[in-house]
Structure 1
Amino acid sequence: MSTQAIAVVASDVVAGLLGAGFNGAVRLPGEPEYDEQRRSVIPSVDSRPLAVVEAYSRTDIQAAVRTAREYGVPLAVQATGHGTRVPADGGILLKTTAMTSVLIDPERRIAKVAPGARWGAVLDAARQFGLAPLSGSHRDVGVTGYTLGGGVGWLARKYGFAADSVIRAEVVTADGRTVTASADQHPDLFWAIRGGTGNFGVVTSLEFRLYPVREVHAGIVYYGIDRAAAILRRYRDWTATIPNELSTAVVLTRIPGTEQRAVATKVLYAGPADVAEHLLKPLFETAGPRLAGELRTIEYADAAMGGTPARHLDFLDTLTDEVIDTVTELEDATVEVRHWGGAMAHPGPAAGPVGHRAASYSLIIDREVADLPNSGRTFVNFLGDPDRADTAYSPADLRRLRAVKRTYDPANFFHLNANIRP
């Protein structure tokens, strides 16, 4: 499409937005801030939309949806950009970054957030009441995308996935209507969005439970890389004995600020330090001398420990010797083995379609590894290839998700995502 044609289409879209009652910011190609605003956190996503529109309200979101449909252009939704997987080339990139309100109801232990809120704001608001959300590994990650994709954080073994904590959402559907999704209103949609991500509409507000967690014993400690195989074998046996309050991961990586390879053990225990140290003793005795790092009793809001970029992701029912031998021979890769289970594996009867709940471990590597066996299972939050979205769900859940999609978005208007086809 020529530059002149793009300008004509873009001007039509702007006119449509204004006519639909849009009051947010619009940035077109060639204008200041267009390039900055179109970017995703993920470098491989180089989106070239006709317009970047920043919503300030639910009305703005409705206007963007209706305009995209009227002019037949695709629409992608972006809050912080961490979950953006498909570029909005030739369409509208709808940003909710400016909608950041966070409200805490300490009596009911509930948070209500706007679609652009980040976990850091929720953590800081909830900590004043001794409460915690089921947040992710980084404070700057957006709440909505993370939660709708499932959301596995450091309290997940104790309380479940972030999606399991959702009690209510407001959603703008493909026809521009706003509906409330809860156990009592549009229960099919409520089920689907709690793991089915943005396939069914644009979430304009989200309500979820908070939990009575103020302090945790947490941190990262580093051990010699020569102990990697022994640590992972001990980890395999040890994780079968620990309580749900204890969440851990073993990472083959480098000590920060150095080129020294090491085995990092990430730990968060939702309880007293002395109990945590007692539980960890068998693992740490196998690990040998500590090279760096420490565990401390800190507020949960300060306990973010980061994650590993997922070029290779698999779920393991057991940590086999073959897997251990293969990953410990990778000299330059970052490898994370994370313990799952606990409350994640025991959802309530009305829980959403978060996939592969019964897995014992996740295996994440920051590069592709051909020699590893792969179950083919994925997880929406870690999905590198959006065309593999179907593998994030069980066959039964996928059939049900497609049925809900046919009800709320039969034309697959919301498809620039980890798409579930009608």
Structure 2
Amino acid sequence: MPVTPAPGPGPGPGADGAGAGGLRALGSRLEGALVLPGDAGWDAARAAWQLAVDQRPAAVVLARSAADVAATLKTARARGLRVAPQSSGHNAAPLGHLNDTILLRTSEMANVHIDPVRRLARVGAGVVWSEVSAAAAKHGLAGLAGTASDVGVVGYTLGGGLSWFARSHGLAANHVTGATVVTADGRVLRVDAAHEPDLFWALRGGGGAYAIVTELEFALFPITEVYAGALYWPIERAGEVLTRWRDWTAGVPDAITSLGRLLRFPPLEDVPQPFRGRSLVAVEAVAQFGQEAADALLAPLRELGPELDTFAPTPPSRLDLLHLDPPGPTPATGDGFQLAALNDETLAALLAVAGPDADVPLLTVEARHLGGALAPDAVPGGAVSSLDAAFAVFSGGLTFDTSSTAAVHAALDTLAAVLAPWRAPLAYRNFTERRRPDDGVGFEPDHVRQRLRRVKQTYDPGDVIRANHPVEPSR
């Protein structure tokens, strides 16, 4: 579904018509393709997964190799442009306008290699999680994938990576073992604990502002089956269900990751019949136990008599169906933050603005249980190796037009304001889809931020590489 062009800034200073020769010469040096405004396929090339985001860069490069990335960076530097790497574009909104930027699409860099002996995956920058999950499953292995199967592995992992195994294994970024990157000056580097260690540290949870990753290597785990599913009740029971779930999370082992969720399904044919046009409260969970042990742990939730119970033995490669994420690009807007506590007052405030008596345009309002291996110092890693909060909140709605966009943004603002007294000091990069660091949102402590800025200064002093959550060089 292509994005419809909208009024606003035109092509940047390096595009054809805005400077002698423009960018056409770059195309002849690429294994992939260069797409400029007005070319056939322009709208498809520039479209992000978030169809509500109208990306209009100076040019799009459909890269196939590290050499393509290097050529793009060198051309951008020579023309005073920037480069924004993007795989799927799930968190595209914080990039802002791109009229001075070459959008570097990596979807054609899709190699996947599984080393079953060393339990490692090595993937290209354009690979999405469904591809890794399917390949790893053939060897009885699983990666720390997110809830959506079409999320790009690299962007997800550089931003932290919150999976269904997060409470037992920590962030996906903690399990990165190496990467191939292209620096702003066009050098291709191997990055790991022994090579470019400062850059290796920054890439693990600190985002993608320092160098462009063309390949990522990370650990896999011998997980072949879990007990997973969801329990659903009418939204009118949200208070008792979410209170029971919150109390239940206080005693569960780290081998269970779960979330509580308010859902409002539109009356669309694409929505399965049990959910179409309905409002529900749900608890989703993945337990790394056998069915008997998991059933015993789930008993306090089932005592509430759910209308629908989908729990069953599930291979990790099928967990992408659990969260009911859209099956493809969607015109949606979301945002998130972290909570230091989810006490009775927090729940009451949440239900007042998003519960059964509220008229809100949000499809989902969810709180994910953190702790366990996500806690500070639980698992060693890089720049961001933990989430110092009790729960992570994410909410979103469909934004088809100006009216729905305004309504969803207003609802997200209201939810954030109402829950502000219980918010944790730091946010999680991958759930922050509307805010930017210059809006006062922080993703790491100040001393970590300063070190990240020094890494940026070392590898990209001209700030050529543009990330959705930028890090400025330390001048």
- Per the normalisation by structure 2, the TM-score is 0.83
Name the stretch that deviates more: 187-196 or 325-334.
325-334
- Cα separation, 2, equivalents of 1:307 and 1:33: 30
Q: Alpha-carbon deviation of 1:159?
A: 0.8
Alignment partner of 1:188: what SS?
helix
Distance 2:465 2:146 in 1: 25
* Alignment match, 2:30: 22
Counterpart of 1:379?
428
TM-superposed deviation, 1:172: 0.5
1:254-309, CA deviations, whole angstroms, 9 ceiling, x for partnerless residues? 36533332211111112211111111112332xx2221241010111001133787
Q: 1:224 to 1:48 in 2, by over 3 A?
A: closer
State percent identity of aligned pairs: 36
Partner of 1:30: helix, strand, or coil?
A: coil
With 72-81 and 121-130 compared, the bigger mean Cα shift is at 72-81
Q: Distance in 1 between matches of 2:278 and 2:434?
A: 32
Bigger drift between 140-149 and 22-31 goes to 22-31
After superposition, residues 338-377 of structure 1 pair within 5 angstroms as: 338-347=368-377, 350-354=380-384, 357-366=387-396, 367-369=412-414, 370-373=417-420, 374-375=423-424, 377=426
d(CA) in 1 for partners of 2:114 and 2:18? Answer: 43
Distance (whole Å) between structure 1 residues aligned to residue 73 and residue 156 of structure 2: 22
Whether the 8 Å contact between 2:379 and 2:385 is mirrored in structure 1 is no
Deviation of 1:379 (Å): 1.2
Matching residue's letter, 1:387: R
Amino acid at match of 1:8: G
In the TM superposition, what are the counterparts of 1:167-316 in structure 2 within 5 Å?
Answer: 167-254=177-264, 257-285=275-303, 288-304=304-320, 305-306=322-323, 311-316=334-339
Inter-partner Cα distance in structure 2 for 1:4 and 1:405: 24
Q: Determine helix, strand or coil for the equivalent of 1:417.
A: coil
Query: How far does the alpha carbon of each residue in 1:213-257 deviate from its partner, in whole angstroms, 9 at most, with x for none?
Result: 011111122013233222222222221211111111010113653
Matches within 5 A, 1:63-74: 63-74=71-82
Amino acid at match of 1:170: T
1:145 to 145, 155, 175: 155
Q: Secondary structure at the match of 2:174?
A: helix
Alpha-carbon shift at residue 348 of structure 1 (Å): 6.2
Name the aligned partner's letter for residue 452 of structure 2: L
* SS in structure 1 at match of 2:310: strand
Shift, 1:84, TM fit: 2.3
Q: Is the 8 A contact 1:75 1:92 kept in 2?
A: yes
Contact 1:316/1:363 (8 A) holds in 2? yes
Aligned-pair distance for 1:177?
0.5
More divergent stretch after superposition (212-221 vs 250-259): 250-259
1:46-195 paired onto structure 2 within 5 Å:
46-85=54-93, 86=95, 87-195=97-205
Q: In 2 relative to 1, CA 3–173 (structure 1 residues): closer, same or farther, beyond 3 Å?
A: closer
Letter of the 1:187 partner, please give it.
P
TM-superposed deviation, 1:351: 1.0
Where does the alignment leave 5 or more consecutive residues of structure 1 unmatched?
A: none
Taking a change above 3 Å as real, the CA distance of residues 412 and 379 of structure 1, as seen in their structure-2 partners, is: same
The alpha-carbon deviation at position 56 of structure 1 amounts to 1.0
Question: How does the TM-score come out when normalised to structure 1?
Answer: 0.93
Q: Go from structure 1 to structure 2 and tell me whether the alpha carbon gap of 1:27 and 1:2 turns closer, same or farther (over 3 Å shift).
A: closer
Q: Which residue of 1 aligns with 2:469?
A: 418
Give secondary structure in 2 for the equivalent of 1:167.
strand
3-state SS in 2 of match to 1:363: strand
Q: Taking structure 1 as reference, are residues 356 and 104 closer, same or farther at Cα in structure 2, changes over 3 Å only?
A: closer
Match of 1:404 in 2: 455
2:244 is paired with a residue whose SS is helix
Distance 1:375 1:348, change over 3 A: closer
Moved more, 351-360 or 65-74: 351-360
- After TM superposition, give the deviation of residue 4 of structure 1 in Å: 12
Partner residue, 2:3: none
Please say if 1:319 is aligned against 2:342: yes
CA 154–416 in structure 1, closer or farther in 2 if over 3 Å, else same: closer
Q: Given the superposition, is the C-alpha separation of residues 88 and 123 from structure 1 closer, same or farther in structure 2, using an over 3 Å criterion? A: same
Distance 1:206 1:356, change over 3 A: closer
- Checking the alignment, whether the CA contact within 8 Å between 2:350 and 2:418 is kept in structure 1 is no
2:180 is paired with a residue whose SS is strand
Q: Does residue 328 of structure 1 match 2:331?
A: no
Shift of 1:82: 1.3
Is the CA contact (8 Å cut-off) linking 2:91 and 2:433 kept in structure 1?
no
Q: Aligned in 2, Cα 1:2/1:296: closer, same or farther, shift over 3 Å?
A: closer
What is the Cα deviation at residue 417 of structure 1? 2.3
Q: 1:209 to 1:25 in 2, by over 3 A?
A: same
SS in 2 for 1:290: coil
Residue 2 of structure 1: CA displacement? Answer: 8.0
How far apart, in 1, do the equivalents of 2:27 and 2:83 lie?
13
